[in-house]
Chains A and B, each alone.
Chain A
Amino acid sequence: MIGRRLAGLALGLLVLPASLAAQSSIFGVRGPGFPGRPYSAAAMGAGGSSGLFDPQSQLSPASLATLKGGTATFTVLADYRSVETPAGSANVRSYRFPNTYITAPLRHGQYAFGVGATTYLDRDFTLAVRDSIVLRDSVRAYTDTTVSRGGLSDLQLAFAIRTIPRTTVGLAVHFITGTNRLAARRAFDDTSYATVLQTAQTSTTGFGLAIGATRVLSNKLTLAAFVRKDFTANVNIDSVAFGGATTIGADYGLPWTVAAGGLFAVTPFLEVSAQGVYRTWSSANESLTNLGAPGAKNSLELSLGGELTSRARRATQFPLRVGVRYGTLPFLIGEGPVVQPSEFSVSVGTGARFAKQHGAIEVSLERVWRRASGSDISETGWLLYTGLNIRP
C-alpha cells in the first residue's frame, strides 16, 4: 500500500507544472546563468561536502561506488530569497528540480550506471528598472521589465566500474542543452509612446566528459577525485519578433571542473566529509566580455559537513546532517570595477526510510548569504531541499 503511495507521489512530482523550472540568483543575471548544484537533498544537508561519495548526487560518476540497488531520486528545491539592490529590495521565491537521477548496479554489482538530469545554469529572473529619458525636450518616465525563463540542463550518462578492489572508477558523458525565453518590455508613463515589447529565444548546446574515482583507504577513510571537461556552449538566437535563427558569436567556453574530497568515519555514528570543487569559468570570460558582460572568473567551492546517526544498524533513519559551504561565484558583477560575488551557507538536514526500505525522504534546509564586496548588491535566502528516493 505504502509502495503504491510512493509511486503515486513520484508520478505527482513528475507532472508538476513545467513553469516550476528554475530560479536564478541576482548574481546570475550578468552571465549565462546561476550554476546549479548536482547534489541530492541528503548531500546538501551536509553542505554538499559528501557529493563525491553520495550515489544520489551527480557530481562524479564514481559516487556510484556505494550504490546497493536500483534507485530513482527526485529532488525539489524551494527557494526563498531576499534581494537587496541599490534600486530597492524584493522577496522572491521559486521552485525547481535540481537533481533527478536513476541509478542501478549491473552484473551483480560489478558495474553501475546512472541516467540523470541536473540544472547546469539557470536563468530565471524578472528585473524591473524605473528610469527616465529625454524625448522631444521632455523628460519621459518609464519602467523597463526584463524577463528571462529557462537555462541549461545537464543530462548525464554515468557508468561506474567497481571491479577493482577498494576502488571505483566512473565515467560520464554530459549533454548540455537548454532554451532561454527572453522578453524586454518598456512601458512609458506617457501613453503617447507605445510600449516596447521584444521577445526572443536562445537555444544552447554543449558537451562534456567526466572521469572520477573513489578509493577506500581504510575502513575509516575514503578519498575521491574527479575531473570533468565541458566544451564550448553553442548559442543560437531565434528572434521571435524579427525572424530567423542566427548565430551571432555568442558562444562561450565551458569550464574544466576539478574536485577532490574525503570521507572520514570518526565513529560508527559520525561521519565527516570535506570537499573542494574548482571550475575554470574564466574560459568564458573573453566571450562574455566581448558580449558586454562584466566577465567570468574561476570559481571555488569548499564544503565541510558531517552526519550523525543514533543507531549504527539503521544509519539512514533520522540522521542529523550539518554542513557549511563557502564558494566564489563565477560571473562577475558591476560596471567599471567588477567584483566576483561569493556565498556562504550553513545547512542542516535529516531523512527517513520507510516502506521496508523501499522509499526514503530526505529534507535539508540551507541558509545562504550571497554578496559582492564593494557593491550594494546582496541576497540572503532559505533553500529547502526535499528528496524522494524510490528503490523498487
Chain B
Amino acid sequence: MPAWLGAVAVLSGACTERLLTPVNCPELCPGGQIIVFDTVLTPIVGSDSSFSGYVTAAQATGFLVSNNLPAADARGFVQFIRRNDSLFVQDTLRSYTIDSARINLTVDARDTLQPGIVLLLYKLPPTADSSSTFDDLTAEFTPESFLDSLEVPDTLLTGRVTALFSGETLARIALTPADSGVLRVGVALTAPAATGVRLLSVRAGTGAPSFQTYVHADIADTTLQRQTITRIPSFNSYVTAVPFPQPTPTTLLVGGAPSVRALIRFPWPLVLKDTAEIIRATLELVPVAPIEGVPNVNSTVVVQGILVDLGAKSPLIPQVTAANTFQVPTSAVLSFEVRSLVRLWQGNAGRPPALFVWLSPEASSFSVPVFGSTADPVLQPRLRVEYVRPYQFVLP
C-alpha cells in the first residue's frame, strides 16, 4: 500500500467526533428551552351528537345470550342454510339416512369468574324469523322445543361448545316438512347468577355457528357411504327484553344494536393547526352513569378521525385509531391517547377536527356507555393537548 494511502487511512480512522456535553439551562442552552404548552379543548357547543343505525344485531360479529342480566337480557337466534334431503356423491344425487348431528357454537367472551354457565338450545318453528321479538322467541322456548343444554366449562375462556344428537336424542333435531330443511335454533342461558356470553356469529368468519349432519349415503361403495353435511347460518341475531338506549340530545351514547356512534367536533386553534408540534393529546369522555355490562368481559371504546365531515355519514380514517378497553361496572373517565389522530388535523390539508366514537365489538356488546355532551359543561368531553412551538433556533 502506498505510504500516502496509509497516511490517509490513519487520519480517517482517527477522525471520529465526540461532542456530547452535559450542560445546565439556561446558562448554556442556546435558543432557550423547549417550552411545553398545555391546553384543554372542549367541543364546539351543540356540534357533538350521537347517530344510530350503523350495525344491526344481525350484522354484528357476535350475538348475545344472557339470563336476566340488568345490562341486557338477550336471547340468540340462528337460522341455518337449508339442508336438502339428498346429497351429491360421485355426481349423483343420493338419498341418505342420518346417523347423528351436532350444533357447534363458539364462545367469544364470558364472565371468567362465573361458574355453571349452560347454554340452552331450542328448536324454533318456521314462524321465527328476523322480525321475531324477545317475547316471540321466549314463547317458543318450551320443554317440547328443547334440544339440548351445552355446558360451558368453567375453564373455557373462548372456544367451541358442541351439542351432539344421536340415537334417541336425534329425533329432537329432526326437521319436519314444515321446516323445509331449515333448522332454526334459539339460544338461551342459565347460570347460578345473572350473566351473559357473547357467541361468534356468521359475520365473524372463523368460529361461526355450524350445523353438522353425519349421514349414510345410499351408495354401494362402502368407503363413500359416510358423508357429512355442514350448514352455516343464513341468518343469526339476538333480541333483548328491553331495547338498547337510544341517543338523546343531551348525551353522547355509543354501542347498542343497531349501533350508535358519537361524533364530536372540536375547535382547532391556528397555533395547533399550523405551527405546533403536538407531543400528547388525550380525549377524555365522562360517563353520565356507571357503565354496566358483563363483569370480566372487556368492551372497547374506539376513537377514529374522519376524512371529511359529512355528519353521521362521515367516512372514517382507517387504521389510525385510539382505544380504551374497560371493564364493568365503571364510572371512571375514559381516556384515549389520540395524538396520532389529531396530528392529521394539522397543516393546510388537515382533516376535519372531529372524532367519531364507537363501541367494539359493535352491536354485540352488553355495555352501552353514555357520556356527557356539551349540554353539560361539567361532563362534556375534553381534549387535552400538550404541544411545543417551533424552537427558536437562531437565538444563540
Contact = CB atoms under 8 A, between A and B. Distances in A.
Interface stretch (A4-12, A218-226, A344-352): A4-12
Contact of A124 (B19, B25, B38, B391): B19
Contacts of B277: 196, 198, 241
For A86, A129, A130, A334, which residue has the most chain B Cβ atoms within 10 angstroms?
A129
A176 interface: no
Contact of B36 (A135, A192, A293, A335): A135
Given A144-B34, A192-B337, A193-B280, A20 B27 contact: no
Contacts of B279: 188, 193-196
Interface in B270-295: 274-275, 277-280
Interface in A183-212: 184, 186, 188, 192-196, 198, 200, 202
Contacts of B25: 129, 131, 144
Interface in A309-353: 331, 333-335
A167 interface: no
A87 B7 contact: no
Interface string B87-122: 000000000000000000000000000000000000
B24 A85 contact: yes
A251 B281 CA distance: 37
B388 interface: yes
Given A5-B4, A6-B4, A93-B17, A377 B27 contact: yes
B30 A90 contact: no
Interface of B: 2-5, 7-8, 11-12, 14-34, 36, 38, 274-275, 277-280, 337, 339, 384, 386, 388, 390-396
A7 B5 CA distance: 11
A29 B28 contact: yes
A22 B5 CA distance: 24
Given A5-B3, A133-B36, A292-B395, A16 B29 contact: no
For B26, B30, B36, which residue has the most chain A Cβ atoms within 10 angstroms?
B30
Contacts, number: 182
Interface in A1-58: 5-9, 11-13, 15-17, 19-20, 23, 26, 29-32
A87 B22 contact: yes
B28 A333 contact: yes
A293 B395 contact: yes
Contacts of B22: 85, 87-90, 127-130
Contacts of B280: 192-194
A146 B384 CA distance: 27
Contacts of B38: 135-136
A239 interface: yes
B20 A76 contact: no
A293 B3 CA distance: 48
